[in-house]
Structure 1
Amino acid sequence: MSALAGIIEFDPRDSIGESELFELARTLDRTGPDGGAQHHEGNVGLVFRAFHTTSEAQREMQPMVCGNRVFTWDGRLDNREEIASRLGLRSDHVPTDLDLVVAAYQKWETRTFAELLGDWALAIWDRTKQELYLAKDCFGVRPLFYIRKSSRLIWSTTLESLATDRSPGLHVDKDHIAGCFFPYPRLGTTSFEEIKGVLPAHFLTVRRGGQCSSTRYWALNPHSRVRYQKDSDYEEHFIELFRNSVRRRLRSNRPILSELSGGLDSTAIVCMADDIRRTVDTPDIETISYFDADEPTGDERPYFTAVEAHRGKVGHHLSVAEFNRQTREQAFSPVPNRYKIASPGYFARSLHWAGIIDGVHQATGSRVTLCGLGGDELLGGVQYEALELLEYLLSPNLPRFAASLWCWSQEKRKPISAIVKSVFTLATARYSLASFLDIQGDIPWVLVRPTRPNPILETFSPWRVLSPTHLFAETIRYTISAQLSCQEPTPVGMSEKRYPFLDRSLYEYVASIPRNQVIRPGQRRRLMRRSLQGLVPDFVLSRTSKWFAHRAPAAQLRDQQKLLKSLFAERWMSHGVLFDTDLIRNRLRHVEHGIVSESRHLITALSIEQWLRRQTSLGVIAWDNRENDISADHDEKAVAAHGLPC
């Protein structure tokens, strides 16, 4: 995952200083250790730092100047052959991904973005139009941030490049902080009010004089439907797309490290990668597995060792329980000042864990990690019955609706009236989208709530014209993208994460087939289990349990009572503004006597307070720590969230 950044002055008569551009480039050196360059012309400067993960990327020279346009690209283009064919490029030349992107843009201009499959972020300076374009892929796998000041805009793929002591006076985005608890921050926001993120499947246009506009270049086709006569046809189509998705993500000039939890998603990826390697020359696949013997369902060894036996290769095993014991005293220690981390959520032990993972990458020679994110959400790991039932109503097929309604009621032990209500909520979701996406809840000591309505949500997709099936799929894409936006790379080690389930072709297919192909009452992950028979070991294919770390957060809070009490030796900067720390202190006392429901949230609050202290001490944040009036209105039930309906 390479890094790019740049500066544009809104007034063409202003110029960018070379020393300033060099200083911006220096902030990318850690994430781009394979060299790079800067391009400087008048009021615009572009920076690139490389992190090579494919053989083609080693031949790229960035920033690339082509006529009156300058390009910087961080990405992996998956439909290379298709793009080359449509452009009429000769077959005896093997272009780089950037070569194809540049050629496509020369022909299609901004229409190009919708044609690019893969994970990518892109910056284009068009000298003729005097316009800058910042764009990213449809799931937002590759980050791209920007900050607008009075006379300029600065962009970067790393948040810490924009949040430094060279740019003091930033403010905390309280709406983003609220999202850390309900349950993910809003897409397009960061922990800093002034710094925004380019939205997935959007491009930002910056024009002369500072005019900026965000344009959606892709969304699901509301009319796409895939219907077959036989279940086996759905299975064959799925396995073809899944195979193609994994194959696309095996393009690497080094061995690949794949996460192997023993669950269905990670196992499917590893087994499919092995199957592809039998017929196609691809890099070696190493695996990394985590287990926690201290958690009731956390010992995954029986599952991932069964997969290792199936593939005839033992991977790297990491004991989370042992790591927790070894780093117990550092559980809530702040990140050392020598490390630059712009987002909350990290402690010193986070860096130790990142160092262990980096050690595995060093041992295997890998720079790419395959991850199973998205499988649960897209392929029926989450039991949401309303979509299947609504499809029966719209068919209409009332006998199937009645039979399925009864089965779902029995399966979920849920009143029929409650299920019918959820069906009605989905049916009217396009007219009350915020209510459909909101998860109601209450954490009394959190004083901030996400504001409503959410303008970013409204522009994310054309909700009003989507069918219920596509609308539901787009809410999943929004939630996954929001989750990805929180995953800032740690300052220890580097790895490019790839997600086979976040493939646009696969996503479009799953969003266009009948819901009862994906899941039915008592048949979670129905399509996956049918399609992967013979490829995935039956022991994993038939498992129903899943590891959730319930005990560890509460145990950490109990073990570190002395440290936690020391954190209250001085008044929290967040007190009365973000949190009621008197209530937090009270909840921490409860932890000493048992598990409280919000242990994870308490740890998040601790990380935010430490982050706030550090950013303020560095002069990055301008913070008014005068205590606000904590009035009764923070106990009201108006709570907003981003996630799937329960």
Structure 2
Amino acid sequence: MSALLGLLDRNGDPLEAGILERMHERLAHRGPDGGDCWQARRVGLGHQLLATTPQARDEQPYRDGDLVITADARLDNRAKLLAALSGSMSSLSPAAPDSHLLLAAYRKWGTACVEHLIGAFAFAIWDERESRLFCARDHVGVKPFYYHQTDATFAFATELKALLPLSSVPGTIDERRIGDFLTGRLEDETISYYEHVQRLPPAHAMVVTPTDCEYWQYWSLDPSKTLSCPSDAAYERRFRETFEEAVRCRLRTAGEIGSELSGGLDSSSVTVVARDILPDDEPLHTFSTVFDEADSSDEREYIEAVTDQSGIVPHFVRPDGIGVLENEAEMLTYFDRPPHNTLYFSVWELSRRTDEVGVDIALNGVLGDCTSNYGLGLLPQLFRTARWRHLRRELQAMGEHFGTPASHLFVRHVLFSLVPDSVRRTYRTHRGKPILEAQANPALNPVFVDRIGLRERYQSLAGSHSLRVATTDRLRQYRSLTSERHAANLEAIDLRYGAFGVEPRYPFADKRLLELSLAMPPSQQFRDGWTRAIVRRSLSDLLPQSIQERPWKTMMDEAFWNALTNEREALTNLLENPGSLARYLDMDELQAASDRFETSPSSRDARTLWRARSLAAWLEAWPHQKQPTALEQS
């Protein structure tokens, strides 16, 4: 979880004195193991090193002849790359850092090198001979990449804040992103919270020259590919082998390894497989949030079913009694956007504890829901194709597992999913209920909504990957896997762990696992009334029975609502002194949401208040920040 940055003067003029160093300094917290800059007349690259792999004594920016690279990368197919690149770089050895492999791959394959990579990466290569900058981001967006482009300048960085010192970045807010944040629609992968700062989407690469910028997608999932195995056991073996390899690749480190463990199927699967792979004498630390004052949000029973295994060292965070933006000043020193995770108060402390224990790598179950696939799209698919007996059998089995009548499941997961969104909106409008952005956030300022065309934008983003209109389960899973909001979630996790010098790694985000899972028949994903059946079956010897038989993950509403209640004073101050927040929210409607939450809490009002609180804190701390941050001043 290192950091990269760079600057190119496209007119060929010398770089502004000291600008590269100022950008570099804004990322100093990500370089506990060193940092450096390289600069020629019109181009400069910078790097901050967090050493997390055995090969990570990696002095970057690294130059070899006419090529210079800065990278934040972990390559998972090193052996294959080393074999293919043998002889293409005289200095390349089995112990070479991943950045050296990337440079050798570029020298051999040019911009097509990204098609040969597996892992998590963001990198930029200055090619002096071609007078061009080549940049790329990994398949799912684990590693962030922000950039700024004008006719005269191209700049990039791991974190948005490193681009703010540039004179061509005005620091003005992109109100479209504010609208996305306030309505929970974070699917736009290209814009940031500032005008003139963009994000390179996952699985994309770009070439920048003094006169041109070419931008393309180098990989995408193919929903037409299918996998056919001779038996259920064969499918289970394929999934198990691929998942184990995904976990094994993410254990490559010379430091301590930890795992975020919530007690759900995703994090539990990652944890038990990691424990099974690691040597017996190497501990696996787990980090979990438990709640003494929110029984319905506490997953201790399931967490302890995993941590009772030998070789696991559990650590617990108890965030009872704190507010949703506890340690606000500290968090927003690093967090250059409004946090959107309603449980940020707990995961921030989880990251802190991970660092305090001395763990370098934190495994995480992110993307598990869509990679292992609930498979619920099979039910309406069976209905559409008139396979009534199969549908009835699955609904009855599901009802037994979940303690829910089969008739209720039929209405919810079959009939309800067949109703088009347009019909739902017409029905709600006829009953006088809000729709689209007004349904998502009842406190939006109508002037703001009209100013940015938020209704049209919301409808476009919400409909681009609607699961309800998917005609098959495979298409439903494809849309879930390719949801653009994954990038926003991964970028947020990157920021919070980046503040503490820990690198998160995500086995369920492995490119090979994504492709395998999507190619599997839906009947392997949903079987005998069990969602995500392939995970439950293939890991049955490792997962505790209580985890295998969990129908759903615990809802965290009570813990969130308690933390929001602890913010009563801050919310009162916000309502009385809204400042620039009033540009985006109607304060009377926000007061009404607060009153409703006090008397009868609901998820919608809770989210509305949380977003107001988060946005207001960020508006005060970050926009127009052209001066040194509190982090730099310290």
TM-score of the pair, normalised by structure 2: 0.83
**For 1:516-535, what aligned pairs fall within 5 Å after superposition?**
516-520=523-527, 522-535=529-542
CA offsets, 1:251-300, max 9 Å, x none?
00111011122222111111111211258x9x532111111233243222
**For 1:9-408, what aligned pairs fall within 5 Å after superposition?**
9-12=9-12, 14-58=13-57, 60-88=58-86, 93-164=94-165, 169-185=170-186, 186-209=188-211, 211-278=212-279, 284-311=283-310, 313-321=312-320, 325=321, 327-328=322-323, 331=325, 334-335=328-329, 339-345=333-339, 354=348, 357-363=351-357, 365-381=358-374, 383-385=376-378, 388-389=381-382, 393=385
Offset of 1:337 from its aligned partner? 10
8 Å contact kept, 1:83–1:100: yes
Structure 2 residue identity aligned to 1:238: F
Structure 2 residue identity aligned to 1:357: S
CA offsets, 1:55-98, max 9 Å, x none?
2011x221122222211111100000111122235997432212
8 Å contact kept, 1:176–1:450: no
Matched, 1:5 2:5: yes
- Which of the residues 490, 495, 499 maps onto 2:506? 499
CA offsets, 1:26-65, max 9 Å, x none?
112111121122111121111111110012011x221122
More deviation, 239-248/553-562: 553-562
Offset of 1:453 from its aligned partner? 9.1
**For 1:582-593, what aligned pairs fall within 5 Å after superposition?**
582-593=588-599
For 2:166 and 2:65, locate their aligned partners in 1 and report how far apart those are by CA, in whole Å.
Answer: 37
* Structure 2 residue matching 1:37: 3-state secondary structure: strand
**For 1:411-422, what aligned pairs fall within 5 Å after superposition?**
412-414=409-411, 417-421=415-419
CA offsets, 1:500-554, max 9 Å, x none?
1100001000010111211247211111111111111112211224222212333
Q: 1:467 to 1:138 in 2, by over 3 A?
A: farther
User: What CA RMSD, in Å, does the superposition of the two structures yield over aligned residues?
Assistant: 3.5
8 Å contact kept, 1:517–1:526: yes
For 1:61 and 1:354, locate their aligned partners in 2 and report how far apart those are by CA, in whole Å.
Answer: 30
Q: 1:457 to 1:73 in 2, by over 3 A?
A: farther
For 1:220 and 1:346, locate their aligned partners in 2 and report how far apart those are by CA, in whole Å.
Answer: 27
Unaligned runs of 5+ in 1: 426-437, 461-465, 621-646
Offset of 1:616 from its aligned partner? 4.8
8 Å contact kept, 1:262–1:300: yes
For 1:400 and 1:107, locate their aligned partners in 2 and report how far apart those are by CA, in whole Å.
Answer: 56
8 Å contact kept, 2:334–2:495: no
Match of 1:429 in 2: none
8 Å contact kept, 1:144–1:157: yes
For 1:387 and 1:86, locate their aligned partners in 2 and report how far apart those are by CA, in whole Å.
Answer: 46
Q: 1:33 to 1:423 in 2, by over 3 A?
A: same
Query: How many residue pairs are counted as aligned between the two chains?
Result: 586
Structure 2 residue identity aligned to 1:177: I
Q: 1:81 to 1:387 in 2, by over 3 A?
A: farther
The alignment-based identity, stated in percent, is 26
8 Å contact kept, 1:259–1:288: yes
Offset of 1:158 from its aligned partner? 1.1
* Structure 2 residue matching 1:483: 3-state secondary structure: helix
For 1:418 and 1:346, locate their aligned partners in 2 and report how far apart those are by CA, in whole Å.
Answer: 28
Match of 1:574 in 2: 581
Q: 1:546 to 1:445 in 2, by over 3 A?
A: same
For 1:500 and 1:315, locate their aligned partners in 2 and report how far apart those are by CA, in whole Å.
Answer: 20
More deviation, 338-347/113-122: 338-347
Offset of 1:111 from its aligned partner? 1.0
Q: 1:99 to 1:312 in 2, by over 3 A?
A: closer
More deviation, 129-138/180-189: 180-189
Offset of 1:320 from its aligned partner? 2.6
For 1:596 and 1:553, locate their aligned partners in 2 and report how far apart those are by CA, in whole Å.
Answer: 11
Q: 1:398 to 1:121 in 2, by over 3 A?
A: same
8 Å contact kept, 1:388–1:515: no
Match of 1:476 in 2: 481
* Structure 2 residue matching 1:373: 3-state secondary structure: coil
For 1:456 and 1:109, locate their aligned partners in 2 and report how far apart those are by CA, in whole Å.
Answer: 35
* Structure 2 residue matching 1:311: 3-state secondary structure: coil
Unaligned runs of 5+ in 2: 399-405, 424-435, 466-470, 628-634
**For 1:622-641, what aligned pairs fall within 5 Å after superposition?**
none
**For 1:526-545, what aligned pairs fall within 5 Å after superposition?**
526-545=533-552
